[in-house]
Amino acid sequence: MNASHTNASSRDASFPDAPYSIEALQALARGQGFAGLRDKVVLITGAASGIGLAMAHAFSACGARLALLDVDGAALEAAAGRLRAAAPQVPILAQVAAVDEQPAVERAFEAVEQAWGRVDVLLNNAGISMNCPTLELSGEAWRKAVDVNLNGVFYCAQAAARRMVARGGGVILNMASMYGVVAAPERAAYCATKAAVAMLSKSLAIEWGPLGVRVNAIAPGYVRTALVDDLVARGRMDLDALARRTPSGRLGTPEEIAALGLFLASDHAAFINGHVALADGGWSAYSYI
């Protein structure tokens, strides 16, 4: 679920238009309400597509400086090109790095610090899906999910917080999932790691809050991305069934999750700390059969 589906006209009838397109998100970000994010140094992991790229568009429209990390070099280069075309005045530093490799994470943060002297906001977005019957789940696949979805979040949060504390504060947003709040079959590794991210976020918030660092988690539901479209095309996912199960009657968009990230990173959310913000169209609230 990591590539934006940004053209509303290309959505099928089962996916009603959502309130945020890329253009609407950029207009929101340019408003005076987010002027405090101008010139902030924002580091985004998993930035080449999907929610990460939508976040980059949002913070770019605010006038923030963007440090983009992704393991896919070609996709990252393409994403950086699109962002530069949309906002030529915004400084962008794009680096290929795997978040589950702690030395690579440290090198990436050092490069950002050398370029701009600080990291103000970390959007800990990188993650992988892991859908497999649990009786067939290999130890290698389990460890990979833990390495990327949990260890990678920890490595980046720690690297960011060390720098933020030294400068008096900052904001960390970790990407959890509604499947870290409610469970689903054949997703044991995904559910376990995303639940761990939610609790990690709370633990870090109460430890680092007194040091000026706010930590929150975002827990999206089903979001319409290129990966979802591919699963639909291959008959692995039923959009109509997902929409019927969601009280809001549709999937979310990367832009909607980015709008939430924009708010949580801003001074409007200055008293929000240790919160897991669900953005799932009501999925996790629904228990009636």
pLDDT for the residue numbered 289 = 66
Domains of the chain: 21-27+35-281 (3.40.50.720)
Q: pLDDT value at position 23?
A: 78
The segments of the chain whose pLDDT lies below 70 read 1-20, 31-32, 289
How confident is the model at residue 86, as a pLDDT?
Answer: 93
pLDDT recorded at residue 227 = 76
Instruction: Report pLDDT digits (tens) over 47-63.
Output: 999 999 999 999 999 99
For 108-148, how does the pLDDT look when each residue is reduced to its tens digit (9 = 90+)?
Answer: 999 999 999 999 999 999 999 988 999 999 999 999 999 99
Model pLDDT, residue 38? 94
Q: Please, are residues 191 and 150 in contact by the beta-carbon 8 Å criterion?
A: no
How many other C-beta atoms can be found within 10 angstroms of the C-beta atom of residue 245? 15
Sign of CA dihedral 106, 37, 6, 145: positive
How confident is the model at residue 3, as a pLDDT? 35
Contacts for 181-185 with beta carbons within 8 Å, 24 or more apart? Answer: 181/219, 181/276, 181/278, 181/284, 182/283, 182/284
> The whole model's pTM is what?
0.90
Catalytic (active-site) positions:
190
Residue 83 pLDDT: 96
CB crowding 129-166: b at 16 or more within 10 Å, else e:
bbebeeeebeeeebeebbbbbbbbbbbbbebbbebbee
